[in-house]
Amino acid sequence: MAKKTPEINATSTADIAFLLLVFFLATTTMNVDSGLYRRLPPYQPENQKAPEVAKRNILQILVNQNDMVMINDSPADVSTIKERTIEFILNPGNRSDLPSKELKNIDMFGQVEVSKGLISLKSDRGTSYRVYVAVQDQLTAAFNEMRNMKANEKWGKNFNELTPEQQDAVKDVIPMLVSEAEPNVIGGKK
């Protein structure tokens, strides 16, 4: 007759399984995607004319193939874009070479002055993506700051603490108008 094998003690399997469970829970890092959100303009056939905009209403930012930045025809550093944009859009002194403003009726705000300013961003095919994102980042920072300012004026809260309706109202007061011109090949095809 075969000898009866003694039963293996199974109490520790639970611990082993728990260990595995904790390991998997801890290691599955849900890497969240982050980035700068933009909405592209709808596609337009090539022969269509761009709408005319007064020169004072445009802040032109050019980035060339050597990653050099030019704001309104004078060389500038990437880090100055934020200040320039804020000054441009808000036009605190109502200067005649900065954008005009238009009275608009916006719910929750009533009659407010909305800047007609438009930022035109033009990059070359040879511009590096790093600099392009840095420029976009600066622009986003500028608009976020202005929206925060407006939100604080009105409700004493930061923009992202507002309700969606309030956020939409603030977005209407400070619209983010960034137009990206089709890039042309200046620095050769890359």
Residues making contact with another protein (CB under 8 A): 10-11, 13-14, 16-18, 20-21, 24-25, 28, 30, 32-43, 65, 123-130, 132-134, 136-137, 140-141, 144, 180, 182-183, 189-190
| DSSP conformation letters of 113-124 | EEE--EEEEEE-
Tokens of 136: 């976009």
The answer to whether the CB of 115 falls within 8 A of the CB of 103 is no
Give least dist CB 89 to another protein, A.
16
Tokens of 185: 């090949």
Give least dist CB 142 to another protein, A.
9
Nearer to another protein, 2 or 14 (CB): 14
Nearer to another protein, 41 or 51 (CB): 41
Phi-psi sector, 91: left (phi>0), alpha (psi -120 to 50), beta: left
Nearer to another protein, 86 or 141 (CB): 141
Nearer to another protein, 35 or 92 (CB): 35
The vertex-120 CA angle with 117 and 126, nearest 5°, equals: 165
Give least dist CB 82 to another protein, A.
10
Tokens of 19: 């260990």
Give least dist CB 190 to another protein, A.
5
